[in-house]
């Protein structure tokens, strides 16, 4: 059973790793939002000494870094803090991992791109236009130059179930529809939404791979669609009325952080490297329904 240090265990992705990780000896970290997992530990990744001591004590075989400041708007508001956490924090983790020969898996973002190209692959030039995107580009480079065994996963907007500390876009839409609220959804901003559980499965697969990885991989859903279309399909899958889903323009809404209107990712490399299937929207939403019916949401109550 591999020993895995999960950085950012209370986040949206991290919490799904925590509730799905029975095959690993998992040590999830948190900063403010407490985790009641038996091996959970508090860690401020911007504190170099704390990081080095924790990693030395745990001796993980793999570090999965999903933490940091992950909300682009918050990064724009506090760029110095974002740099300290997202860039310097990653540097500390990479240093600690390198000192004991640990595999390093970094979660990055499609926001390393500016959206001007028709399609992006792993070799496309990065050109981030937000603080968060620039942080991710720098963090990626730290991993590439500082680790001998790494995987960088650039992913996109996640949907699925999460802990009480977070709310995915799917959960936000569901809550709005159930409360009979009007939801304004962009009809002209497009992403390749990914089911959180598929991303978790991909990470688990990378943890288990035997040979050194040293890869950057784009991992996203197979369909490019707008937030408006996503909300419509979610309502249909969950049997909720669509009348309150209103179409609105991305261009007419002030943005706290720059986000491209359209990001199409070429995921053919992920399909070659990974056995994990990344499901389309309709299939993924049906999985959400099945997970809820099977008690998946209640698992979060055990740890969060």
Residue 165's Cβ-side half-sphere holds a number of Cα atoms within 13 Å equal to: 19
Find out whether 113 and 126 touch, Cβ atoms under 8 Å.
yes
Q: What is the pTM of this model?
A: 0.96
- pLDDT tens-digit profile of 167-210? 999 999 999 999 999 999 999 999 999 999 999 999 999 999 99
pLDDT at 253: 82
Per-residue confidence band for 290, with pLDDT thresholds at 50, 70 and 90 = very high
Instruction: Return the structure tokens found at 161.
Output: 């179930």
- pLDDT tens-digit profile of 86-96? 999 999 999 99
Find out whether 59 and 52 touch, Cβ atoms under 8 Å.
no
Per-residue confidence band for 231, with pLDDT thresholds at 50, 70 and 90 = very high
- Helix axis angle for 169-178 and 227-238, nearest 10°, is 60
Per-residue confidence band for 211, with pLDDT thresholds at 50, 70 and 90 = confident
Burial of 55 (C-beta count, 10 Å sphere; 0-12/13-18/19+): buried
Rounded to an integer, what distance in angstroms lies between the CA atom of residue 149 and that of residue 25?
A: 20
pLDDT at position 252 over 90: no
pLDDT at position 257 over 90: no
Per-residue confidence band for 114, with pLDDT thresholds at 50, 70 and 90 = very high
Q: Give the pLDDT mean for 18-46.
A: 95
Q: Give the pLDDT mean for 9-36.
A: 95
- pLDDT tens-digit profile of 61-75? 999 999 999 999 999
- Name which CATH class applies to 3-302: alpha beta
Q: What DSSP element (H or E) covers 102?
A: none
Residue with tokens 């007419």: 252
Q: Is 120 a catalytic residue?
A: no
- Which is the catalytic residue, given 27, 120, 132, 159? 132
Phi, psi of 278 (to 5 degrees): -100, 110
Residue in 237, 233, 263, 261 with CA at minimum distance from that of residue 245: 233
């Amino acid at each position: 059973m591999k020993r895995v240090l999960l950085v950012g265990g209370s986040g949206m992705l991290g919490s799904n790793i925590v509730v799905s990780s029975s095959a690993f000896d998992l040590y999830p970290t948190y900063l403010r939002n407490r985790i009641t997992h038996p091996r959970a530990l508090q860690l401020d990744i911007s504190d170099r000494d704390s990081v080095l001591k924790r990693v030395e004590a745990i001796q993980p075989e793999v570090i999965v870094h999903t933490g940091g400041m992950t909300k682009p708007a918050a990064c724009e508001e506090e760029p110095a803090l974002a740099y300290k956490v997202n860039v310097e924090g990653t540097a500390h983790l990479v240093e600690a991992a390198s000192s004991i020969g640990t595999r390093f898996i970094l979660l990055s973002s499609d926001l390393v791109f500016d959206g001007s190209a028709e399609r992006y692959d792993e070799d496309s030039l990065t050109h981030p236009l937000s603080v968060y995107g620039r942080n991710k580009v720098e963090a990626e480079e730290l991993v590439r130059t500082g680790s001998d065994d790494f995987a960088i996963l650039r992913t996109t907007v996640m949907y699925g179930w999460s802990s009480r500390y977070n709310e995915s876009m799917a959960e936000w839409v569901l809550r709005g529809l159930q409360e009979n609220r009007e939801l304004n959804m962009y009809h002209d901003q497009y992403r390749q939404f990914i089911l959180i559980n598929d991303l978790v499965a991909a990470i688990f697969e990378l943890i288990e791979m035997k040979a050194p990885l040293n890869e950057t991989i784009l991992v996203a859903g197979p369909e490019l669609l707008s937030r408006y279309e996503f909300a419509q399909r979610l309502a249909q899958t969950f049997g909720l009325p669509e009348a309150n889903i209103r179409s609105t323009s991305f261009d007419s809404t002030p943005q706290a952080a720059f986000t491209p209107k359209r990001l199409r990712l070429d995921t053919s490399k992920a399909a070659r490297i990974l056995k994990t299937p990344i499901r389309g929207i309709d299939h993924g939403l049906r999985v959400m329904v099945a997970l809820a019916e099977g008690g998946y949401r209640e698992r979060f109550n055990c740890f969060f």
